[in-house]
A and B are shown apart, each in its own frame.
Chain A
Amino acid sequence: MTATDPNRALPLDPSLAPPGTRNFRDAGGIPADRWHADQNGETLVPTHCCFCGVQCGMYLRVDRGGKVFGVEPRNHDINRMRLCPKGINAYQQVNHPDRLTAPLMRRNRDEEFREVSWDEALDHTVAEIRRIQGEYGNDAFGLLGGASLYSEKTYLVGKFARVALKSRHVDYNGRLCMVSAAGANKLAFGIDRAGNPFSDILLTDCLLIAGSNVGECFPVMTQYLWGARDRGATLIVVDPRETAIARTADIHVALKPGTDSAFFNAVLHVVVAEGLTDEAYLAAHAAGWEEVKATVAAYPPARSAEICGVPAEQIVQVARMFAGADRAMAWHARGVEHHSQGVENCLSIINLCVAAGHIGRPGAGYGTITGQGNGQGGREHGQKSDLLPGGRSITNPEHRRQICEIWGIDEAELPPAGTSMMEMVWQMQRKEIRGLVGICNNPFVSLPNYATVKDGYDTLEFHAQFDFFLSETAANAHVVFPVTVWAEDEGVMANAEARVVKHNKAQEPPAGVRTDTWVICELARRLGAGDKFAFPDSRSVFEELRIASAGTVNDYYGITYERLEETGGIAWPCPSTEHPGTPRLFENGRTYHPDGKIHMQVVEWHPPMDPYSEEFPLSLTTGRTVAHFLSGNQTRRLGALVEQTPRPWVEVHPSHGFRNGDPVRVVTRRGSEVFPALVTEAIRPDTVFVPYHWPVPTAANALTIDALDPRSKIPEYKVCAARIEAAERIDEVPAPPTAPGHQAYPETQVSRTDPLPPTSPQGRGTAERS
C-alpha cells in the first residue's frame, strides 16, 4: 500500500502514522517502551480532549500523588498524536486555582455569595423548585443542559426534567451549535449525523468546506484535508473570510454572509445545466428531485452572483469541480448553520451532494463539523426539548409509550415538547418560566442579544447553576453547585463523525466537588423521584441509556465501555455487541426514512432577518479563535491561551480607513461596543468580524440578533446589520469571575488590557504596525 493508494482507509496503516511516533503506541495507557512511566513514576491515563467535536485522543499525565499535571500526545486514530493549543492546555484546568470547591448560595442577587454545605444548597434548591412549581405549575421551572457533558449526563438531564421536575422546559446549549444540520439531515435522510467518517476525507477527489474556519475551530481536522490534497484532491472553501484554509484553496468563494443557499442553489443550477447530475442515482434513491430542479432553475449564476457578491464564473467553476469529481465531499459548520435559514442552507448543500451522486461511498458524502465536544451526543438522548432518548420524538405516541415503559412512569405524566433555549429566555422575561437550573452552560456569553438574556435571567425568582468555574452566568445565580471537570469522571461523547469515544477518569475530584450525576440524582431523590435515579456512577447510567436507545435510529445498544476501550470508538447505529458500528451511512443507498429514499427539499433563499439600511450598511459576522472555546469560561483562565489571544478585535477591510489598533465602535440595532481594529484584506469590504468568546463589554453577542431559524431554532449569529465608526477608547476585557476567597489566577491577567489586536491567531495583522 502506498501513500497515494486511494483505497487506504483509517485506521491508517501504521507505517503512515507520523514518523517518530511508532514506539508510542496505545498500549494500555502506557507507552510501549514505558520510558516515561519508569522515569518519573507517573501514569498516563488515556482519554480524549474535552473541547471540540474532533475529540482528539490524549493521555493525561498523573503524578504519584494522583494529580493531573500534564498532557502527552496519544496515537488515537482520530488525531494520530496531533492536538491543537486548546487540547494541549486543557489539563491545566483540572487543578486550577479558580476551581469552585464548595456550593455557593445567596438568598437574593444583592447579597454576596457565601459557601454553604451541600445539604443547605440542595435543600434550598428543592424548596425553591417546590415553591415555584406549587405556585405557578410544573412548567414554570426549567432546565438548561450543555453539550460539554458526557452523554450519560445529558440522558440524566432529559430524564430529570421529565420525571423528577415533571416540566416540559428542558433544552441545551447544543441548540446554539449544530441543530440546523441535525434538522436538515433528519429531513433529508431520516438520521441526524454526518454521513461519513473523517477518514473518508483522505479518499475524496474534491472537498468542499462551507462556513467552517477549520484551521481555528477544528485544527486537527486539517491533517485530513492535507492528506486528501497530497493525493491530488481539490479544495473549495466557501467563507466570507480568507481563513488559513481558504488561503490555500483551489477556489475561495468569499460570499456575503447570509447568502449561502442562494449560492448553492446556483451551483446546482449549473450542475443541471451542464448535465453533471447523476440521474441514475436520483431515479433510484431520491424523492423530490423534480421540485428541487424546478426551484434551482430560478437561480442562474448571474442572479446569485449579485446576491452573494461573488463572480458568476466562480459559481460555474465550483459546480464543475464538485460535480465533475469522481468522489466529492461537502463539510459544513456554523457558518452556514447559524442563520435564520440554517436548515435551508444545509439542505441546499445536501441537494447538491445528492444531485451529483456524491453520497454513501468512500470519499463521497457530507458531514457537519460539531463545535462542542458532545454536540452530537448531547442531543441524542433526550436533552433537547423535542427529543426523547434514542432520538425518539416526544410528539410520537409510540415513542412516548416506549420511553415511559423504560422509565416506569405513566404516559400521562410525560410532559409534551418544550421550547428552545432562546425561547426559554423570552419566557423568563414574560415570567412564564420563574425558576431555572443551568448545567454547564454560559448563556451570558453564548446567547445572542445580551440585553435580552440578562433581562430574562434577572427576572428569574430562582436560578441555580452547575459549573466548575464561576461562569458569567453562574455569577448571576442564587445557588452554584461545584461539579467535576471532565478528567474527574468517566463517560462517553460522540464526536463529529458520530463515533462514540470513552473518556476516562484521571484523578479524584477535589474535596467538596461532586459529579453532575451525583447532584442530579440527589436533587431527584429530594424531589421524591429517588427510585428512578438510583445511579451510583456513569456506567450505571450508560447501561440504562443503551437499553433506552435500543431499536431506534440512534442505537447504542451494542456499545459498551469495554468495547470502547478496546476499539478506540464505535460509530452508532450499533444494534448488537457483535456489530462493528456504522462509520459510513447509506452504502446500500437506503436512508432511514421508511421508504428508504432521500427526501430532497426545496430551498428558496431569503434575506437575513436584520435588514441592511443606510444606517446599518455592513454585515457583522462572528466566530471563534483557535485559542478559545465557546463562552471562554474555561479557556479564558488558562495562561497560555489568554496570552495567545488576550482579547477580541474587529476585523475590518483597509477600505474603511482605519489603522491597526484604532478603537472602532461596532453598532447594531441591539447596541454598540468598541474593539481594536484589525485591518486586513482577508475580509470583505462590506463585512466585519468579531470573535465571540468574551463577556460584555467586549461581547460580540451584545450585538448579534436573537432571530431564530423557524425549524431548528438556532440563532442567527452569523449575520446582522451593522455600522462601524471611530471611537475614543477601547473597552477593557473583564477578568473572569471568581468565587469569594479565590485568588484570580495571575497568569490569566497577561496582556488583558493590551489594546492592540493579537497578531495571532493566523497573523491577521495589518500592513503597517504603528
Chain B
Amino acid sequence: MMGRTIFIDPGRCIGCQACVSACRECDSHRGKSMIHLDYPDEGHSVASLPTVCMHCEDPVAPCAEVCPADAILVTADGVVQQADTTRCIGCANCVNACPFGVPKIDLQAKLQMKCNLCYDRTAYGLAPMCATVCPTGALFYGTLEELQAERPGVQVADSFTFGSTTVSTGVAMVVPADKVQWPVPGGLPVVEINGRDVR
C-alpha cells in the first residue's frame, strides 16, 4: 500500500506554475525548479499538468539502475534521491533512462538534478513545497486514504505501460473515476484526445 506520497490530479491543474516557483524556493535545490508543466492539448484546450519525479518502484528507478557511477540513491522509504554530487559524472544516462522525462543535467557543472520529494521537508513531516502551495490541490501530498477522504470517489493509478514494459511508481496519478485503466498508457502513441483524432 502506498504511504505518504504525491498524487497528481491533472484535471485540477490551472497551469499557474506556483509549483514551479515553489520548487525553486525549496532549500534542497534552491534557485532551480525540478518541475515542469506539460500542455497536452495545446491550441485546443487550456489543459496543463505538472511533471514531478514519479519515484519508480518496479523496476526500481530506471535512472538509478543505469547510473554507471552509482550516484542515485533510493532510500528505504522509496524516495529516489538527486544524484550524489561527489559521484555524478554528468553522463546523462539517467536522463535517457527515465520514462517520464524528469532528471535534468547541468552541463556546465556536469551534475544531474532531479526532484527528491523535498526530502529535507518530508523527513520532518512537512509536505513537499510544490504540493504545499499548489492552489488547486492538483498536487496533493498524503496517503490515499487522506486523498479519498477529501475527494470522495477519487481513483488513482500507480502503474504505467511503455510498450511492453510496465512501470509501477511511488507517485500516483488521479484518473477519471469512470474509466479506471490499469495500467495507464505512458509511452504509447496518442491517437485520440477528447474524442478528436490527433494522429
Contact = CB atoms under 8 A, between A and B. Distances in A.
A21 B127 contact: yes
A222 B138 CA distance: 10
A215 interface: yes
B186 interface: no
Contact of B15 (A23, A87, A215): A215
B16 A88 contact: no
Given A19-B141, A21-B132, A764 B127 contact: no
B15 A761 contact: yes
B51 to A, nearest CB: 13
Interface string A284-298: 000000000000000
B132 A760 contact: no
A244 B42 contact: no
Q: How large is the interface on A (under 10, 10 to 19, 20 to 34, 35 or more residues)?
A: 35 or more
B132 A88 contact: no
Contacts of B149: 2-3
Nearest to B147: A19
Contacts of A79: 135
Contacts of B134: 82
B175 interface: no
B46 A33 contact: no
B96 interface: no
A767 B43 contact: yes
A767 B25 CA distance: 33
Interface string A737-770: 0000000000000000000000111111111110
Contact of A83 (B38, B44, B133, B146): B133
A627 B37 contact: no
B79 to A, nearest CB: 14
B188 to A, nearest CB: 21
Nearest to B122: A20
Given A18-B140, A219-B135, A226-B136, A23 B126 contact: yes
A223 B126 contact: no
B136 A223 contact: yes
Interface in B4-42: 4, 11-18, 20-22, 24-25, 37-42
A317 interface: no
Interface string A7-44: 00000000010111111100000000101000000000
B14 to A, nearest CB: 3
A680 B129 CA distance: 32
A108 interface: no
A711 interface: no
Contact of A88 (B22, B43, B143): B22
Nearest to A222: B136
A621 B129 CA distance: 35
Nearest to A681: B44
Contact of B124 (A33, A85, A641, A654): A33
A666 interface: no
Nearest to B22: A88
Contact of B16 (A22, A84, A767): A84
Contacts of A220: 135
Contacts of A73: 129, 132-133
A222 B21 CA distance: 18
B152 A4 contact: yes
Nearest to A79: B135
A244 B46 contact: yes
A640 to B, nearest CB: 5
Interface string A76-106: 0001011111011100000000000000000
B116 interface: no
Contacts of B124: 23, 33, 35
Contacts of A242: 45-46
Contacts of B24: 640
A759 B122 CA distance: 31
Nearest to A680: B43
Contacts of B42: 759, 763-767, 769
Given A18-B131, A82-B133, A640-B24, A216 B141 contact: no
B78 interface: no
B48 interface: yes
Q: Which DSSP category, helix, strand, loop or mixed, fits chain A's interface? A: loop
Nearest to A654: B43
B163 interface: no
Nearest to A24: B126
B135 A244 contact: no
Interface string A641-663: 10010000000001000001000
Given A18-B142, A223-B137, A81 B11 contact: no
B178 interface: no
A87 B37 CA distance: 19
A245 B47 CA distance: 10
Nearest to A91: B25
A81 B126 CA distance: 11
A70 B129 CA distance: 13
A626 interface: yes
Contacts of A767: 42-44
Nearest to A89: B21
Contacts of B126: 20-21, 23-24
B102 to A, nearest CB: 19
A736 B38 CA distance: 30
Contacts of A21: 126-127, 132
Contact of A230 (B22, B41, B135, B150): B150
B136 A763 contact: no
Interface string B107-133: 000000000000000101111010111
Given A83-B135, A640-B24, A626 B16 contact: yes
A440 interface: no
Contacts of A654: 43
B179 interface: no
Chain B CB within 10 Å, residue with most, of A18, A33, A644, A767: A18
Contact of A222 (B4, B14, B129, B142): B14
A243 interface: yes
Given A759-B39, A763-B42, A219 B18 contact: yes
A767 B44 CA distance: 7
B199 interface: no
Given A81-B133, A88-B18, A219-B18, A18 B25 contact: no
Interface in B147-199: 149-152
A696 interface: no
Contact of A19 (B4, B21, B39): B4
B21 A215 contact: no
Nearest to A246: B46
Contact of A682 (B14, B17, B46, B137): B46
Contacts of A221: 135
Given A3-B149, A88-B22, A679 B43 contact: yes
Contacts of B122: 20
Contacts of B40: 763
B37 A83 contact: no
A71 interface: yes
A92 B175 CA distance: 37
Contact of B127 (A16, A19, A230, A248): A19
Q: Identify the 10 closest CB pairs spanning chains A and B, nearest first.
A: A763-B39, A19-B142, A20-B127, A215-B14, A767-B43, A765-B42, A244-B14, A762-B15, A219-B135, A766-B43
Interface of A: 2-4, 16, 18-24, 33, 35, 70-71, 73, 79, 81-85, 87-89, 215-216, 219-223, 226, 230, 242-245, 247-248, 626-627, 640-641, 644, 654, 660, 679-682, 759-769
Given A85-B21, A680-B43, 6 more contacts: A20-B132, A88-B133, A89-B21, A644-B20, A765-B42, A767-B44
26 contacts: A3-B150, A4-B152, A18-B127, A18-B132, A19-B142, A19-B143, A20-B4, A71-B25, A83-B133, A85-B16, A215-B14, A215-B16, A215-B136, A223-B136, A223-B137, A230-B152, A242-B45, A247-B47, A626-B16, A682-B45, A762-B15, A763-B37, A763-B38, A763-B46, A766-B42, A769-B42
